[in-house]
Chain A
């Protein structure tokens, strides 16, 4: 069964005379438990696709189903709730909140879920241990290396047990060794059942995924699978 289904998704940016068709009729289903890499040249629409997948943006046209919910027409607050409960984000530039400690960063989604402080702290500790940062709970992001920051981001994305993890170039700011460590972590999560969709330029990173989706000019060019 598909976790995410795109039906004829368009995203058009009206810029001046010539509208930019960032996504130009994408039809695709991402199966539950699958591991995808989205590839393609710069400007081909990868990030736009991720934003729509992550309910940060709405398509100009077309339908988007998450499980059986049509999220393409949802109101802003409902999209926030979908993001909170179903989706975990990992970004190229980590996007941790600098003034919060590692523990508070990991707890952030739980805070919005309304968990009490004690339960959240326990969960944050478990997750930090899972990504190997149990000794860094009280550190601030600025005191961590890039790889460590990305692991905090992974732990944060896992806080609410998301169905879907979206990673836009998660290894883009990391050296290849640290990048591989993050990929191993993601592979492990995928094995535990989480659906993962990531954007990458690097073929050896894309090799961790089961399916590679190649984009060109807002369209799906081809898909190859292991």
Chain B
């Protein structure tokens, strides 16, 4: 059976055969590229994983959003521990109204008042975080509705005692009873569970995601009416009295391009009306940009480290190939005497180098894929292998073979056959 081997395939095979003659040497020569490529792929995977996770979380906050949180100022924090006076701080209902009406690019605003209250359903007890808000909340923090409904403007207007629980809260409080329409007690008052939503929790970048497992969403008007604006805060040992109107305001801007200017405007406005810095603004978009910039910087650093290690690998290969050319001077002379052209000698040595570096590239790639898997498994760090982080190092390893193989190959072709044949 005649299997037609293409010339290139045959040359590559000859190259492999030659490398197999010196297995250990070829393997050692390859190591530079193996570790170079391996570390590049692994580092890219770790970097990509970290930044992807950060980006995803930040995007979850909404790149059109601005999140403002009340903050107990530092001097307040210090003085309040001395005697039990009441600390008054944070965002106000007026802030909410001004933000809603004074900024042309503000589309929706969701205020949130957060109070921890013990709640009961039958014999089940759970401390809930009551989120007093408006129906806009559910648009700005969109979560899957699992049962029932979320409350609307009507509920807010009518001071409805309606509560929307998270899946977690519903399981804890209501167990397997029919959930929707169940009455529950929150801090002594009776509420009706109107809906259940799925929740997310955790951090995005350095912003706390607005929702928590133990949330119960209640119309803001109802919360104000039932619980007021003043409440005790338990800190280690003592109880302090605090007055906070709103704990959080989430602002949605109509277009990404106005996010930064609107944030600056709101900041200015707040500075006017607040004597102390008792709030903190987070702009997910800014974080996103920062994360992307960090990623770019990270990539530049990685790229430099990678280039250095690949350069070292390439030099290692070149070194060995130069030695190999010297060692095989006589062979080159024989081939030239028989009729090999200079270009054929060049391609013979070049193919050998490229085969070596590419093989190193593949082994390195395998290493670079396995290492992130191990990291993910043991360090629970996310890693992502992208198509780009696989293909790029392979191209680079072929490139290394060509770049660092060219000089030894040209050296080989320069060998004078007459001198080479006399060479012992």
Contact = CB atoms under 8 A, between A and B. Distances in A.
25 contacts: A56-B417, A57-B418, A76-B341, A76-B342, A77-B343, A80-B336, A80-B340, A80-B342, A81-B339, A82-B339, A83-B339, A84-B339, A84-B340, A87-B339, A89-B338, A95-B333, A99-B21, A108-B334, A108-B338, A109-B338, A112-B340, A112-B344, A114-B7, A116-B5, A117-B10
A97 B339 contact: no
Residues of B contacting A: mostly: helix
Nearest to A157: B338
Given A95-B337, A116-B5, 9 more contacts: A56-B337, A57-B418, A82-B339, A83-B338, A97-B335, A98-B331, A108-B338, A112-B335, A118-B2
Contacts of B10: 117
Interface string A157-179: 00000000000000000000000
Interface string A86-105: 01010101011111000000
A95 B5 contact: no
Contact of B418 (A56, A80, A99, A112): A56
B150 to A, nearest CB: 75
Contacts of B338: 83-84, 89, 108-109, 112, 156
Q: Which of B2, B7, B21, B341 has the most CB of A within 10 A?
A: B341
Contacts of A85: 339
A54 B335 contact: no
Contact of A51 (B5, B344, B418): B418
Contact of B331 (A81, A84, A97, A113): A97
Contacts, number: 63
B234 interface: no
Interface in A50-95: 51, 54, 56-57, 76-77, 80-85, 87, 89, 91, 93, 95
Return the 3 tightest CB-CB contacts between A and B, nearest first. Answer: A84-B339, A83-B339, A80-B341
A212 B396 CA distance: 60
Contacts of B177: none
B206 to A, nearest CB: 62
Interface of B: 2, 4-5, 7, 10, 18, 21, 330-331, 333-344, 417-418, 421, 424
A56 B2 CA distance: 37
Contacts of B7: 114
Contacts of B330: 95
A77 B342 contact: yes
Contacts of A76: 341-342
Interface string A16-51: 000000000000000000000000000000000001
Contacts of B333: 95
A97 B334 contact: yes
A91 B421 contact: yes
Contacts of B331: 97-98
A85 B339 CA distance: 8
A51 B4 CA distance: 37
A99 B18 contact: yes
A97 B338 CA distance: 12
Contacts of A96: 334
B202 to A, nearest CB: 62
A112 B330 CA distance: 17
B337 A54 contact: yes
Contact of B335 (A56, A87, A108, A117): A108
Nearest to B336: A80
Contacts of A83: 337-339
B343 to A, nearest CB: 8
A122 B18 CA distance: 23
Contacts of B343: 77
B339 A117 contact: no
Contacts of A77: 341-343
A196 to B, nearest CB: 17
Contacts of A114: 7
Contacts of A57: 418
A223 to B, nearest CB: 26
